[in-house]
């Protein structure tokens, strides 16, 4: 657009000058006008020439956004464009191979679960059995599908129904058979669903399982790291050859892709950290003091972003039983998100059984509100959603309920209700 505007302005100016200078000399005026028309035609042709690589880049970016790695461009016979097409096709081939490897690994993990000697039993939102793997089916039969654990006539399942989330127990069905049963949960469509893993405690079974899981973890780490390393190596090698100014847009796109590889590696590390989050070690915590300490820690960051943090005046002490380090991590992440919302003021309010952190920054849209606590969802362009995922996991493990939404008055509030 700048080029077009510049050419229009230039030729309008030249036309005016030609009119002023050569109007009295008809032949010179006509010759000058012919030259101007030729110049306009050349400018239009140049515009079409340098617009073609941009069009290829735009088409390629759209294909990548749509995760369509089957599109490959055919060479056109023009040097610069063909170089661009060759690099794009090479990158798409690498991405397609990477996705194929990941799909194969996912399929392998599904087969591993089906063949696993560990029984897997999944409940729905109403705590009814909806899924069994083959090992669990052999143990309990599929007659328990659709029933609550306490409604069955099997002693092991009735014992399992009393287990709290996150607990692991050793249970016996008879005087001989002993099982290690662990209850955990997953998030499905924003709601919590429980599942059980049952392992027969024989030394042989334990060793086989340990070796199998170790092999899977090593294989996945090896394959993913190799894929990312090879892809980034190709991108960096290509960048070394694209030093000419006309390839600046392509070079920038490849740098973005290389940066994405690095962020994906970091994302996997962050994901592992969340998965390995330990259960809370509860102790008496002064919420007033903890809020004051974290607010003081985050105050400088807020000031740098043009915001201020206001904490409540000391009043009735609020004490709860929680993991101090994990609860501190929750407050740091919530305040960080409030600061990044871009408002000018952050208020912290403590009531008898509730903590509220409010900010007057960017409001949460209705579309975002339905996905906020989905695993690794983020509304930020460079966000990974690790912060909210970590917050959710810590608060769920503590048994604390929480909400995040923009109120009618325009303030966005993160509220945590404590069970004290």
Q: What is the pLDDT of residues 301-330, one digit of tens each?
A: 889 888 998 887 766 778 888 988 889 888
Q: What is the pLDDT of residue 212?
A: 47
Q: What is the pLDDT of residue 213?
A: 34
C-alpha span between 299 and 190 (Å, rounded): 32
Q: What is the pLDDT of residue 175?
A: 42
**For residues 13-39, average pLDDT:** 79
C-alpha span between 282 and 286 (Å, rounded): 12
Three-state DSSP at 417 gives: strand
**For residues 167-179, average pLDDT:** 67
Structure tokens at 205: 């079974």
Cβ–Cβ contacts within 10 Å for residue 202, how many? 12
Please provide the distance, in angstroms rounded to a whole number, between the alpha carbons at the two ends of the chain. Answer: 63
Above 80 in pLDDT, residue 155?
no
CA distances from 182 to 121, 122, 153, 223 (A): 11, 12, 20, 30
Contact assessment for residue 311 and residue 350, using Cβ atoms and an 8 Å cutoff: no
CATH second-level architecture of 116-201? 2-Layer Sandwich (3.30)
C-alpha span between 282 and 398 (Å, rounded): 9
Q: Which pLDDT tens digit goes with each residue over 258-286? A: 776 666 565 555 555 555 667 888 899 88
What residue ranges do the domains of the chain occupy? 2-68, 116-201, 283-417
Q: Give 273's contacts (C-beta < 8 A, 6+ positions apart).
A: 386, 390
- 283-417 fold: Heat Shock Protein 90 (3.30.565)
Q: In this prediction, what percent of the chain has a pLDDT beyond 70?
A: 76
Stretch (H or E) spanning 83:
helix 79-115
Q: What is the pLDDT of residue 206?
A: 32
Contact assessment for residue 361 and residue 338, using Cβ atoms and an 8 Å cutoff: yes
Tell me which of 150 and 377 has the higher pLDDT. Answer: 150
Contact assessment for residue 393 and residue 387, using Cβ atoms and an 8 Å cutoff: no
């Amino acid at each position: 657009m700048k080029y077009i505007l510049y050419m229009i302005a230039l030729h309008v100016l030249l036309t005016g000058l030609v009119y002023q200078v050569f109007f009295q000399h008809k032949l010179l005026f006509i010759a000058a006008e012919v030259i101007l028309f030729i110049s306009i035609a050349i400018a239009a042709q140049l515009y079409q020439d340098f617009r073609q690589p941009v069009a290829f880049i735009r088409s390629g970016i759209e294909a990548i956004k749509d995760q369509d790695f089957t599109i490959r461009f055919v060479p056109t016979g023009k040097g610069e464009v063909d170089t661009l097409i060759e690099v794009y096709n090479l990158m798409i081939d690498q991405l397609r191979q990477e996705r194929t490897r990941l799909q194969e690994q996912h399929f392998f993990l599904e087969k591993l679960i089906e063949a696993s000697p560990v029984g897997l039993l999944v409940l729905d939102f109403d705590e009814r059995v909806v899924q069994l793997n083959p090992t669990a089916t052999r143990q309990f039969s599929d007659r328990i599908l659709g029933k609550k654990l306490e409604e069955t006539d099997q002693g092991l399942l009735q014992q399992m129904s009393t287990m709290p989330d996150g607990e692991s127990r050793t249970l016996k069905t008879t005087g001989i058979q002993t099982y290690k049963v662990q209850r955990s949960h997953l998030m499905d469509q924003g709601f919590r669903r429980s599942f059980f893993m049952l392992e027969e405690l024989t030394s042989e079974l334990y060793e086989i399982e340990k070796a199998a899981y170790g092999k899977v973890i090593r294989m996945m780490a090896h394959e993913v790291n190799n894929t990312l390393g090879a892809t980034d190596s190709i991108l960096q090698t290509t960048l070394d050859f694209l030093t000419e100014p006309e390839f600046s847009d392509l070079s920038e796109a490849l740098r973005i892709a290389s940066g994405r590889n690095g962020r994906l590696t970091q994302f996997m590390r962050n994901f592992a950290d969340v998965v390995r989050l330990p259960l809370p070690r509860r102790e008496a915590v002064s919420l007033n003091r903890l809020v004051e300490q974290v607010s003081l820690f985050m105050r400088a960051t807020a000031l740098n972003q043009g915001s201020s943090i206001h904490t409540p005046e000391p009043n009735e002490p609020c004490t709860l039983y929680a993991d101090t380090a994990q609860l501190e991590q929750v407050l740091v992440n919530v305040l960080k998100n409030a600061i990044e919302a871009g408002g000018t003021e952050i208020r912290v309010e403590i009531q008898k059984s509730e903590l509220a952190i409010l900010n007057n920054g960017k409001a949460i849209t209705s579309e975002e509100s339905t996905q906020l606590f989905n695993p690794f969802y983020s509304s930020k362009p460079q966000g990974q959603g690790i912060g909210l995922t970590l917050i959710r996991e810590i608060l769920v493990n503590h048994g604390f309920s929480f909400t995040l939404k923009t109120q009618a008055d325009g303030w966005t509030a993160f509220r945590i209700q404590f069970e004290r």
